[in-house]
Structure 1
């Protein structure tokens, strides 16, 4: 466990801590940083990773299906927990947001590279893509339902967010480039130069992701409803990877794919859930508190988890 903490999580903590310190020292514009990542660096990272990836094996498809399966298991877990605890309305919605959607990008992708190398990183990208799509579609639907904004308005919001997702166009572009036989190692000319430019942009993505994570945590938030935060954090960091392990074995995942999948399922609550919680007024302070607590607690839980699955 100590070895995992030093080899995998300490490098992540160093970069995130730099972002944390910068946010404490300067009034950084978090919205601008998020847009830089979402619309610039993240699409470049996905595009380059998919162009370079080996898609011949079954692991890529399994990882996509696995990501959806984990989300479904989390929804079921929250539903059962809500029944047992007598939760209603926005409390259930907040618990769904904090339990279903994990930080597979800013935190998960760097961790997958440090823990499992380039193969693990590529599989982590597939998980991240599916999670991003589900967060911007199903996540919007969940938040809108909690705010009693169903029907046409919710669907319009979902469709609007979906067509604005640059990750979808990055995936489409990468697959189109692969379909014409493009190989980065042997390509020459204009297309190769353009690809190298995008690749250079993608190399900035992981460190900037961690800086943004630190900046987000550095913004701070008062802890509210500690009992609910504890429940949400336990579901996200403990129950989720346990259920994910069972699902992964059921799907025949093993080796690096198994390790990456279970690790991603054990990531803390996605920071972007706070945006949905604020926009639809679904217990935003509770969601923010869970993001902060689960992020710091994950240093311990992920150390244990990775020592078991690596």
Structure 2
């Protein structure tokens, strides 16, 4: 019990403290959330990914292994959430939003700070989280957008949207320069590290501001099913895969903890953008973020004792 309380205080509470600042600032100053989102997507997240992947010591095999793990994990969540959506008899549009809430999790402005605190800024552990973050972003802004647009429009061209995302190019550049040992001039590297260092604070501030815009609504039965899949079943599936594949040590811990993150805020953002049950999506994000304080604490505890 003492260790659980320590995890809650030393790892989860600092994250919610910065989120609370963003929450209060949004309530007082009514900040422009679109500007904050663009600041994250086009500035700090690409910078952070580039610097982390360039500095990390990992093999191409690790990237392939995580990619394989990620694809299987998402497919399993998709099949399960689709089955639950049919059980709940959700409409086509609501079914899509429900499924997205399970397969898109907050690897960036929640997962990165958790990883940083759990592993005490270990570059190897962070490289695993960054790979998961990058894959999530590519997946979200390709399939995520496509799935919502296809509800009414059926436009396959939406799947090409991820080519506009700087995260993809930041990842590719960081990996290539790392693999070939290419040095980066100081006048480029220094500002890149400044941007990377700002990522966690700005990401959590943004998350708090986004949560401040969501209103509480009670009695949403399907929301609770979404939380169950994302926060409980998700880590169980990941644990089963980790044991089955014989993954051990820091890699196993990082992947298990990454799988436990709450629903991505961006899943609500794209639901709002394409007017596909935005309030339903927002409620899932809100509740999963708060409930995750308990579930993520438990998963961190299990990860430390199992691997």
TM-score by length of 1: 0.91
Are 1:149 and 2:150 an aligned pair? no
**How far apart are 1:57 and its partner, in Å?**
7.1
> Which residue does 2:38 correspond to in 1?
35
> Which residue does 2:178 correspond to in 1?
178
- RMSD value over aligned CA atoms? 1.6
> Which residue does 2:249 correspond to in 1?
255
1:200 pairs with one of 194, 215, 222:
194
Flag the 1:271–1:297 CA change in 2: closer, same or farther, 3 A: same
Flag the 1:2–1:281 CA change in 2: closer, same or farther, 3 A: same
> Which residue does 1:124 correspond to in 2?
129
> Which residue does 1:98 correspond to in 2?
101
The C-alpha deviation readout for 1:13-41, integer Å capped at 9, x for no partner, is 11111111111111100100110111011
> Per the alignment, in what secondary structure is the counterpart of residue 282 of structure 1?
coil
The C-alpha deviation readout for 1:38-92, integer Å capped at 9, x for no partner, is 1011111000011101123743332222222221111011122123333331221
CA distance in 1 between counterparts of 2:258 and 2:138 reads 16
Flag the 1:9–1:282 CA change in 2: closer, same or farther, 3 A: same
CA distance in 2 between counterparts of 1:98 and 1:193 reads 41
Extract structure 1 runs of 4+ deviating beyond 3 A: 57-60
> Per the alignment, in what secondary structure is the counterpart of residue 102 of structure 1?
coil
> Which residue does 2:235 correspond to in 1?
241
> Which residue does 1:26 correspond to in 2?
29
Which piece of structure 1 moves more, 216-225 or 99-108? Answer: 216-225
Structure 1 stretches lacking a partner, 5+ long: none
The C-alpha deviation readout for 1:257-278, integer Å capped at 9, x for no partner, is 1111111111111001112212
> Which residue does 1:73 correspond to in 2?
76
- How many pairs are equivalent? 299
Which piece of structure 1 moves more, 86-95 or 263-272? Answer: 86-95
Structure 2 stretches lacking a partner, 5+ long: none
Please list, as runs of the form range in 1=range in 2, the aligned pairs for 1:102-117 lying within 5 A after superposition. Answer: 102-117=105-120
**How far apart are 1:199 and its partner, in Å?**
1.1
TM-score by length of 2: 0.92
Q: Say if 2:44 and 2:196, in contact at 8 Å, map to a contact too.
A: yes
> Which residue does 1:169 correspond to in 2?
169
CA distance in 2 between counterparts of 1:58 and 1:254 reads 15
CA distance in 1 between counterparts of 2:86 and 2:34 reads 36
